[in-house]
Each structure stands twice: as C-alpha cells, then as structure tokens.
Structure 1
Amino acid sequence: MADTFGMKMKFTVLKHEDIGKLSWEQKANLSEIQEKISRNRISERKRGFPKYLVINTDEPYADEVIEIMKRHGHWG
C-alpha cells in the first residue's frame, strides 16, 4: 500500500461498477446531484466535470506516482 501521508482528501471517486448496483431511485438521486454540481461549476466559470486520472493506492506503482506528483507540486 502506498504511503499517503500528507495527502489531502480532495476528491470522491465512485466506480461505475458500484453505481450499476444501485437502485433506479439511487441512480436518479446521484444523477441529480452530479447535475447540480456541474451547474455550480459552470456558474463559477469552470468546466462542468473535468476528467481525472485515478490511481489506487494498492497498486505497486502508486509510490512512484506520488513521487512524481510531489516533484511537480501536486501533493498535499
């Protein structure tokens, strides 16, 4: 497991596979929340939903990715 000491929790990630297991009503609620967040971001002149790369901390290369992020000032 990667050393995530000092990492701020900035994002929430949901797997599509896990969302697929939700009820229709739960999916509708999630969709409504996503739409509201997107509208808020657009009103702040940001992209609705930017794309991110996600690295699982249990991957063998996670520590290397963390070191790269630290070198570029994107950690913490």
Structure 2
Amino acid sequence: MNNSFPRINEEVTAILNKSKEEPAFEGTVLEGKERRYTIINERDVEKYLSMGEQQDLAIVLDRMLGNIEHGREKDGKKQFNSYVVINTDEPWIDEIIEVMKRNGAWD
C-alpha cells in the first residue's frame, strides 16, 4: 500500500464529493439543475463590499478571467461570451423557459 501521497483534509473531500445540484435552486424553476454560471451583480459588489474587498475582487477576477480567455483561445473558441441574465422570480419566467425548451436550450 502506498501511503506516500498527501492526506486530503475533510473540507477538500467534501468539495470533491459535493452534489452537482445547487441548493440555492431549491424551490425555484431551476430546482434539480446543475449550476453552470456564477453571476455577480456589480451593484451588490459596490453596495456590500468594502473598497479593499472590491479591489481584491477586481485583481483576482482580472487574473482568472485572463486565464480563461487564454484557455478559450487555445481551444479555438471566442475569448468572451455574452449572456442575458433573467431572475427566476420574474412573473414571466415560465414563458422564457418555454421558449428555451422549444429551442433545445433548457436541458
């Protein structure tokens, strides 16, 4: 038995074993779906983060997004994608979902 590789702590194990279903989706039209995107409302960043936190976030995001852009380019993809974001609590969300289903973009 090889015991030479480092031990993985319980937190890392929990992350690796985490269900792909997003608990924040419970009780919404997205319940049971896997999270594929992370959206950060820039107004929330300005309102709820200190100036130092905003600067830290900008530095980290700039570095990470640069890496993603470079990786996408290497894969022959466009560096950037643009998205339309719709809150799931909008009264017309079911209509949007139906359009997406008809076009094969829901599942």
- TM-score tier, shorter chain, comes to 0.7 to 0.9
TM-score by length of 2: 0.59
Question: How many residues are matched?
Answer: 75
Structure 1 gaps of 5+ residues are: none
Name the % identity.
Answer: 35
Higher relative contact order (CA 8 A, sep 6+): 1
Which protein has the larger Cα radius of gyration, Structure 1 or Structure 2? Answer: 2
- Determine whether 1:70 maps to 2:87: no
- Find out whether 1:10 has 2:36 as its counterpart: yes
Instruction: Find runs of 4+ consecutive structure 1 residues off by over 2 angstroms.
Output: 1-8
Q: CA deviation at 1:38?
A: 1.7
Indicate if the aligned counterparts of 1:2 and 1:62 stay in contact, CA closer than 8 A.
Answer: no
TM-score (structure 1 length as normaliser) = 0.78
| 1:66/1:75 contact within 8 Å kept | yes
What's the counterpart of residue 52 of structure 1?
A: 83
- Whether the 8 Å contact between 1:2 and 1:63 is mirrored in structure 2 is no
Q: Distance in 2 between matches of 1:16 and 1:7?
A: 25
Question: For 1:1-56, what per-residue CA distance to the aligned partner results, in whole angstroms no more than 9, with x for missing partners?
Answer: 862244321111111221112111111121122212221122111424x3211111
Instruction: Provide the aligned C-alpha RMSD in A.
Output: 2.0
CA distance in 2, matches of 1:14, 1:51: 14
